[in-house]
Amino acid sequence: MPKTVVKLEGIRKLFQTDEVETSAVDGVSMHIDKNEYVAISGPSGCGKSTLLSILGLLDKPTDGRYFLNDRDVTELHKDELARTRNREIGFIFQSFNLLESLSVLENVELPLMYRKDISAKERRERADAALDAVGMGHRKNHHPTQLSGGQQQRVAVARAFVNRPELILADEPTGNLDSESAETVMQLLKAEHAKGASICIVTHDPRYTRDATRTIHLLDGRIREEAKKDALRIQA
C-alpha cells in the first residue's frame, strides 16, 4: 500500500458575516498518497482555494481532522504550524506572492531562512540550483517588478521547490499567465512529480488536469465526483 501523505476527515470551514453563516468546505474527507498527482476542480466559489489553504496549513478548519504524514496537525500552535509548513509543504499561489523589496534570489532563499540545520552557503547554493532548474538563474539579482508574470511564477515555483517538500500545493498557478508561460509552469510541476513529490493543484481549466493521477470535483464545498484514470465515482 502506498504511503498516505495527507488524510482529511470530515473537514468543515464556516465563515460568519453579519449573522450569516457560510459553509465554504462542508464535510470533506480525502487523502493524497505519496507521489500522487491530484487535481481539484469546480466552479468559482465552490471551496477549492479554502480547501487548499487548509491543506497548506494557512487556515484552520472549523471541524474535522487533518493528518499530515500520519501526524494530526489540526490543533498545532501557530509556531509549530509554521515550522511544519516550511519543512513539508511547498505552496504556489496564483498571485505569485513574491516580496518586491527582495531580489529574486532572496525570495527563493526565504523558506530556508528558518532552517537552523542549513548554513548560509548551502542556502545560497540551493536557491541558485532551484532558480537554474526553472530557467531563472540569469535573473537572480533582479527584483520581482522587473519580471514578467510568467517569470515571476517560475520564481515562485523555485521558492516552492527549494526546501524539497514532499507535498506541493498549487492554487490556480496558471490563472494570471499567458498560455506559453502556463504550459512552462505545468511542465515544471510535472517534472517535480516525476522526482517523487506529491502534487495537489486547484484549477478551473480542464487542460491542466491532464497530468493528474486523480481528479476531485467540488461543488458547494463538497466532493461530488472523484475520477482515477477512467474510473469515476459520484458522491451523494
Structural domain boundaries, residue 116: 37-57+78-234
Residue 179 and residue 187 in contact, taking contact as beta carbons nearer than 8 Å: no
Residue 199 and residue 5 in contact, taking contact as beta carbons nearer than 8 Å: no
Is 113 part of any domain?
A: yes
How far, in Å, CA of 21 to CA of 27, rounded? 15
What one-character-per-residue DSSP string does the chain give?
-PPEEEEEEEEEEEEEETTEEEEEEEEEEEEEETT-EEEEE-STTSSHHHHHHHHTTSS--SEEEEEETTEE-TT--HHHHHHHHHHHEEEE-TT----TTS-HHHHHHGGGTT-TTS-HHHHHHHHHHHHHHTT-GGGTTS-GGGS-HHHHHHHHHHHHHTT--SEEEEESTTTTS-HHHHHHHHHHHHHHHHTT-EEEEE-S-GGGGTT-SEEEEEETTEEEEEEETTEEEE--
We report the CATH number of the domain holding residue 180 as 3.40.50.300
Is 31 part of any domain?
A: no
How far, in Å, CA of 149 to CA of 172, rounded? 14
How far, in Å, CA of 226 to CA of 234, rounded? 7
How far, in Å, CA of 212 to CA of 203, rounded? 11
Residue 131 and residue 123 in contact, taking contact as beta carbons nearer than 8 Å: no
The number of distinct structural domains making up the chain is 1
Residue 154: per-residue pLDDT: 94
Is 92 part of any domain?
A: yes
Predicted TM-score (pTM) of this structure: 0.90
Grid cell listed for 25? 468546505
How far, in Å, CA of 169 to CA of 206, rounded? 17
Residue 230: per-residue pLDDT: 53
Residue 36: per-residue pLDDT: 95
Is 17 part of any domain?
A: no
Is 154 part of any domain?
A: yes
pLDDT digits (tens, 9 = 90+) for 79-128: 999 999 988 999 999 899 999 999 999 999 999 988 888 999 999 999 99
How far, in Å, CA of 156 to CA of 83, rounded? 19
Residue 44: per-residue pLDDT: 87
Is 103 part of any domain?
A: yes
Is 108 part of any domain?
A: yes
Is 32 part of any domain?
A: no
Residues in the chain, pLDDT under 70: 229-236
How far, in Å, CA of 102 to CA of 144, rounded? 8
Residue 145: per-residue pLDDT: 96
**How many whole angstroms from its chain centre is CA 178?**
20
